[in-house]
Chain A
Amino acid sequence: MSNEKHHIVPYRVYVFVLLGLIALTLLSIEITHIDLGSLTVAGAMVFAAVKSYLVLTWFMHLKYDKPYIVTMVIFVFAVFAVTIVVTFLDYLYR
């Protein structure tokens, strides 16, 4: 079980990702100042989703991990999403 060679991520990649994350944070604050009605929250959540995608792929190295790990992560998020949908089958139609 010899160690596979690790992919060493250069520092500047992390700096770029951080800049992107901060930009998205500021943008999401800006966008909630505009009155989009019920879409405001949805907008903020889209930004949050993009940000967590960046964190997962780059900071958490999923980009360099084996496919089965990525599959499991997607699966868990899917299970969570389905759980919310099923719970709302009750609340939406009460």
Chain B
Amino acid sequence: MNSTSIENVANYLKYKGKYKGLLGWIFSTDHKRIGLLYLYSMATMFSVGVLLGLAMKLELLAPGKTIMDAQSYNATFTVHGVIMIFMVVVPGLPAVFGNFLLPIMIGAKDVAFPKLNLLSWWLYVAGVFLVLAALLFGPGTPDTGWTFYAPYSFKTGTNMLPAVFGAFVLGFSSILTGLNFLVTIHRLRCPGLKWSKLPLFVWTLYGTAWIQLLATPVVGITLVLIALERLFGVGIFDPAMGGDPILYQHLFWIYSHPAVYIMILPAMGAISEIIPTFSQKHIFGYKALIASTMAIAFVGYLVWGHHMFTAGMSGTAQYYFSLLTFIVAIPSAIKVFNWISTMYKGSINLQTPFYWAASFIFVFLIGGLSGLVLGALAANIYVHDTAFVVAHFHYIVFGGTGFAFFAAIHYWFPKIFGRMYDKAWANTGWIVFFIGFLTLYSPMFYLGMMGMPRRYYDYLQEFHGGNILSTIGSWVLVTGFIIIIVNLVRSARIGPKAEMNPWNGKTLEWTVPSPPPLENFDEIPELGENDGPYNY
């Protein structure tokens, strides 16, 4: 299939179109270039978010004011949250690896609407700049937390409007990406690639796209209402005019809980690709993994209330949300079971992506189980709004999505850049990062159970030890992060040339050259009766 003619075609990194240089990238409708645009912009925002996180941990090194006062601390955790959620983990794997790999994995030349795809990225950049404008100009950096809870979000004197509008625009970008992926998966699968043969990463993108489509408008309109409230005083969420602030919380979490699944589903998909490749074995329970993906997407849409157990909901609603929260844990557990069963009796190939994937399973387990502690009504009252919650969602969002992201970048790096990274440095980066991660977040479980509340710049003397440990962890983690980044950036430029299929993967992206040519395939591939994504 890989004739020599395809070697003559310029690969997507080198190809020259209507524009040259940077313009050739930011106006390119090629899905691979757009994927990399997302990668670079997200990496930038992630670094900013990491710096803010470091600043928070430094503030918490000792009780009382260390480097900033209460107001700056409030602004810092707000901006950290907004950046990390709306600009990093929500676009996350779909925007980078989904864009890059989805068309190749299903044997297509591009996504269904390439121009719309480029528009999504532009909207993303516009949203980023709007939020940044809120930080740099106007009466003060937003200090509401990333949740923008009413009524404070329309009472605070800080510069909320651009931040809220920016989040709205970022949401629109996310919707368009989801829409594009749905149409692509429905219409552009190559001949013979039935639904029952789709790679699991594609399946998770499919589930994710549905959530993006159905949940994002909810937060969009809710944020518009906050803006209208600030501008005109409509009264929708203002208790002084009969509005119900708890309704705001409902609407906010109708989006923001499914958003957690927008983050984690593609991460699970990437892990489902990596585990079979490095076990050289057919994935265990392919259909169960698809079913659990769709179950998570659907049930995850209906459990939002478990963020509000102490807000003053009715008891009936609390029982319902608690019950469904426990139910939604089942499909996640099925996935973990299947990954481990895939490794069983496989010929494990210990490489960097596998280390990341295995550590993903470890931290995801801890994050998931601590989620059940929070999902139980009685336990939730006890640890609500403490450092325990912070530890839990960092284990899921950072440990889950973040680790999967690093697994994915180390897995597909040779395909994307056509070069291989230094494996020794990559492994070193991983182990340092992993140790830093555990040191940073594990003490927070303990601190939270002892009663240390979240979102304060200060704490009681008795929490000092745990906080010191946690802050040291943040330094270790950043060291690991720097090692990883330097290694990858350096290897993308001068690493040894990578083969077409360095890991012996079976999905379609490993049948095209590294890096892939502009339109991926010489001719659209065709799958026979016995071909499949995991047939080892």
Contact = CB atoms under 8 A, between A and B. Distances in A.
State if A and B touch, Cβ cutoff 8 Å: yes
Interface of A: 76, 79, 82-83, 86-87, 89-94
Interface of B: 214, 246, 250, 254, 301-302, 305, 313-317, 320
A33 B329 CA distance: 51
B299 to A, nearest CB: 11
B305 A90 contact: yes
Contacts of B314: 89-94
11 contacts: A76-B214, A79-B214, A86-B305, A86-B317, A90-B305, A90-B316, A91-B314, A93-B314, A93-B315, A93-B316, A94-B314
Given A76-B214, A79-B214, A86 B313 contact: no
Contacts of A94: 313-314
A89 B246 CA distance: 13
Contacts of B316: 89-90, 92-93
Q: Most A CB atoms within 10 A — which of B254, B302, B315, B317?
A: B317
A87 B320 contact: no
B217 to A, nearest CB: 11
B320 A86 contact: yes
B501 to A, nearest CB: 30
The interface residues of chain B, by DSSP majority, are classed as: helix
Given A83-B254, A93-B316, A94-B314, 15 more contacts: A79-B301, A82-B302, A83-B301, A83-B302, A86-B305, A86-B317, A86-B320, A89-B316, A89-B320, A90-B246, A90-B313, A90-B317, A93-B314, A93-B315, A94-B313
Contacts of A86: 302, 305, 317, 320
A22 B254 CA distance: 36
A86 B317 CA distance: 8
A77 B305 CA distance: 21
Contacts of A89: 314, 316-317, 320
Contacts of B305: 86, 90
B236 to A, nearest CB: 15
Nearest to A69: B186
B182 to A, nearest CB: 9
A90 B313 CA distance: 6
Nearest to B320: A89
Nearest to B312: A94
Contacts of A79: 214, 301
Contacts of B214: 76, 79
Contacts of A93: 314-317
Given A93-B315, A94-B314, A87 B250 contact: yes
Contacts of A91: 314
Contacts of A90: 246, 250, 305, 313-314, 316-317
Contacts of B250: 87, 90
In the complex, the 4 A-B pairs of residues with the closest C-beta atoms, listed nearest first: A93-B314, A90-B317, A93-B316, A89-B317
B435 to A, nearest CB: 42
B104 to A, nearest CB: 20
Contacts of A76: 214
A13 B47 CA distance: 60
A72 to B, nearest CB: 9
B66 to A, nearest CB: 41
A10 to B, nearest CB: 29
A87 B315 CA distance: 13
A76 B301 CA distance: 12
A94 B246 CA distance: 12
Contacts of B317: 86, 89-90, 93
Nearest to B308: A90
A91 B315 CA distance: 10
